[in-house]
Structure 1
Amino acid sequence: MEFSVNQIAAMIGGKVEGDGERVVDNLGKIEEGKEKTISFLSNDKYENYIYQSNAAAIIVKLDFKPKKPIKPALLIVEDPYSAFTRLLEEYNKILTYSKSGVEEPAYIGKNSTLGDNYYRGAFSYIGNHVKIGNNVKIYPQAHIGDNVEIGDNTIIYQGVKIYADCKIGNNCNIQAGAVIGSDGFGFAPQADGTYKTIPQLGNVILEDNVSIGANTTIDCATLGSTIIRKGAKIDNLVQIAHNVEIGKNTVIASQAGISGSTKVGKNCVIAGQVGIVGHIEIADRTTVSAKAGVSKSVKQTDTILSGMVGFEHKQFLKASTLFKRLPELHQQVQHLEKIVLNLPSDKKN
């Protein structure tokens, strides 16, 4: 698909300097400089590439002044990175939402309804009493269980599994292999050492504008709902257990795990390989650094947590007590050091 530089300028709100009728048919890196592509320059260390580029256009910031002649047209904006991101989003929409209709074989159950401009990929499965909104794209081998509801403009990629009774909002994006609504890890220990399965009867709710990464698993609630609030972004390979609640606009990086019934606040940042125990609350705008373990509630907003090393439990408890007192102990050592250094000498004349 081709666009003129002028059309792209109108799309991202930029001013054209140079030939606005040049044709763009792809996006590319500034260091590659291929013909008919558009790129951006936001970091000065990449400036040299602009002078050797054969690209149709490059997005630059307001104060950019070329030091040499350049071939590409310039698209001048306040923030090149944000403008290029917006362009990527629009390009992705064109690619993604261009699909429509039904690829056979595909199954749809009784009393299920679909809105306008849908796409159903080959070998996709839609159960009974499912309600699907407008412009929803369901890719091959996706499974959507009975009584599921899916809002407008949501994309369900290849191999996604959405269990019965789950609710997916508008403008959601669920990447390949994700599982929404699988059983929570609920087992009751018995007197003989065995475990009895606790039925998991709840569901999962994804509110609007939620993104779920590839092979991420979100367990259904034992009773009630596991809830991912509006605007949350969850990376690949994340485990979210039953009855967890993730707050609005919180982001969670790969391989993090959140145990059952924990509530994570709004605008939190959970880095990679973080582990969070169950039945606690994490305050709004908390940041948890990579590989950290969170073992108790965080009550203060804007808290930053880091660090966890596993070793024998009793030693760990003792060490934790001392670790928290390190600043105080350090001050005491410094104080004692001054006293010792100022002691009178006991040497004889």
Structure 2
Amino acid sequence: MAAGRTLKELADYLGGTVAGDEGKTVIGVASLDDATVDQVTFLANPKYASKVATTGAGAVVLPPGADRHGRNAIVVANPYLAFAKMLTLFHVAPRPSRGIMEGARIGDGVTVGADATIYPGATIGAGVTLGDRVTIHPGAVVYEEVSVGDDVTIHANVVVYQGCRIGNRVTIHAGTVIGSDGFGYAPDGEGYYKIPQLGIVSIEDDVEIGANTTIDRAALTATVIGRGTKIDNLVQIAHNCVIGQNCTIVSQVGISGSTRLGNRVTLAGQVGVAGHLSIGDNVMVGAKSGIPGNIPSGSLVSGIPAFSHREWLRSMAVVPKLPDLKKTVAALEKKVAELEARLASE
């Protein structure tokens, strides 16, 4: 069972203030619907504000100005961030180091930092450097000369190809492939000649990469994933791409080769990006959009091909009316033809 915390302790931890009983103790976090009197819940979406009155929680984390309905509350600027921090505090226990376990395969010249865990079935190639508190799960394969920083977790069946670099506090989820060859071929008559892919993938600090994602190595230099970027499951990032800092790339996005994303770019699910493009800082791209050209910083776009999100919304409002509009235009065309025929006969 998690250790109890008073609301005052939680408020100090979250950078908030208490409204109600500061000495009230809670031992965990739950949703507005499911929380009990010894748990704390949160309100991040105003859509659910009415549930604050009926929740069984012992306390609610609220934004400033929200109605607490007489309940104990912790008031913070960002309740959703507070929720994440409380989950970490109450429910995420640190895993003890287990060292290099029997059944792990370690190549020649491997350097392993302090408090690492390498599970049975993991394979570490020659010349690999692993930092402190690295965890490598069963079935993961780290090719030769890879560099891995501190506090990195590599989950089951991840493959990291030769020479790639992984920074500190990186998490790579199961089945992901880092550093496979980029899709590069030169036409050779009726066939194709493979262009050797001699570069690497460089993943900077505080990146998280979802399951079954693929990031291709560069032809000559590096495919780069910038600090703090979060990548969902089932994403493809092609060779020579440079992804900026603190980007969010959602499931089933595909980014073609040599494209550059600025900082804090958001690509929603199933966005497709053509190659050799530049997308500026703070760009947001709506789901299922197609990006055929450069996008300036600060843009909000949607559609295939993508254009202003506001104009796309207006366009989509017209689409359900197109069958009726077609009938109207056909009727008008018929009337015009009748008028023209009448005028011609006079």
Superposition TM-score, scaled by structure 2 size = 0.79
Map Cα deviations across residues 156-206 of structure 1 (whole Å, 9 max, x no partner): 122211111000011112111111001111222221x22222221111000
Displacement after TM superposition at 1:136 (Å)? 1.8
Question: Partners in 2 of 1:204 and 1:297 — Cα distance?
Answer: 23
Match of 1:230, as an amino acid?
R
Counterpart of 1:84? 83
Deviation larger for 270-279 or 160-169: 270-279
8 Å CA contact 2:111–2:127 kept in 1: the answer is yes
Displacement after TM superposition at 1:47 (Å)? 4.4
Match of 2:117, as an amino acid?
Y
Match of 2:256, as an amino acid?
S
Matched, 1:306 2:305: no
Match of 1:251, as an amino acid?
T
8 Å CA contact 1:291–1:307 kept in 2: the answer is yes
Question: Partners in 1 of 2:288 and 2:67 — Cα distance?
Answer: 44
8 Å CA contact 1:114–1:133 kept in 2: the answer is yes
Displacement after TM superposition at 1:90 (Å)? 4.1
The correspondence of residues 52-91 of structure 1 with structure 2, limited to 5 A, is: 52-67=54-69, 73-91=72-90
CA pair 90-175 structure 1, distance change in 2 beyond 3 A: farther
Counterpart of 1:216? 213
Output the aligned Cα RMSD: 2.4
Counterpart of 2:31? 29
Counterpart of 2:193? 196
Displacement after TM superposition at 1:48 (Å)? 4.7
8 Å CA contact 2:32–2:56 kept in 1: the answer is no
Displacement after TM superposition at 1:121 (Å)? 2.3
Counterpart of 1:127? 125
Match of 2:34, as an amino acid?
E
8 Å CA contact 1:4–1:21 kept in 2: the answer is no
Match of 2:182, as an amino acid?
G
8 Å CA contact 1:114–1:131 kept in 2: the answer is yes
Map Cα deviations across residues 189-240 of structure 1 (whole Å, 9 max, x no partner): 221x222222211110001111211111000111111111112221111111
CA pair 50-268 structure 1, distance change in 2 beyond 3 A: closer
Q: Secondary structure at the match of 2:34?
A: coil
Matched, 1:238 2:238: no
Question: Partners in 2 of 1:77 and 1:290 — Cα distance?
Answer: 31
Q: Secondary structure at the match of 1:3?
A: coil
Counterpart of 1:18? 21
Q: Secondary structure at the match of 1:20?
A: coil
Match of 2:57, as an amino acid?
A
Matched, 1:46 2:30: no
The correspondence of residues 145-156 of structure 1 with structure 2, limited to 5 A, is: 145-156=143-154
Question: Partners in 1 of 2:257 and 2:65 — Cα distance?
Answer: 51
Map Cα deviations across residues 17-68 of structure 1 (whole Å, 9 max, x no partner): 32635340x3211111235432112445534544544434332344455445
Structure 1: segments with no counterpart, 5+ residues: 310-345
Q: Select the residue among 218, 223, 226 that pairs with 2:223.
A: 226
Question: Partners in 1 of 2:68 and 2:262 — Cα distance?
Answer: 46
Question: Partners in 2 of 1:187 and 1:31 — Cα distance?
Answer: 55
Match of 2:21, as an amino acid?
G
Superposition TM-score, scaled by structure 1 size = 0.78
Counterpart of 2:173? 175
Counterpart of 2:5? 5
Map Cα deviations across residues 79-101 of structure 1 (whole Å, 9 max, x no partner): 32221122234456x33x32421
8 Å CA contact 2:213–2:234 kept in 1: the answer is yes
Counterpart of 1:258? 255
CA pair 271-105 structure 1, distance change in 2 beyond 3 A: same
Displacement after TM superposition at 1:270 (Å)? 1.6
Percent of aligned positions that are identical? 40
Question: Partners in 2 of 1:67 and 1:284 — Cα distance?
Answer: 41
Match of 2:82, as an amino acid?
A
CA pair 66-229 structure 1, distance change in 2 beyond 3 A: closer
Counterpart of 1:116? 114
Match of 1:303, as an amino acid?
S
Displacement after TM superposition at 1:257 (Å)? 0.9
Question: Partners in 1 of 2:176 and 2:149 — Cα distance?
Answer: 18
Question: Partners in 1 of 2:193 and 2:140 — Cα distance?
Answer: 31
Map Cα deviations across residues 240-289 of structure 1 (whole Å, 9 max, x no partner): 11111111122211111111112122222222212222222222222222
CA pair 222-63 structure 1, distance change in 2 beyond 3 A: same
Match of 2:32, as an amino acid?
I
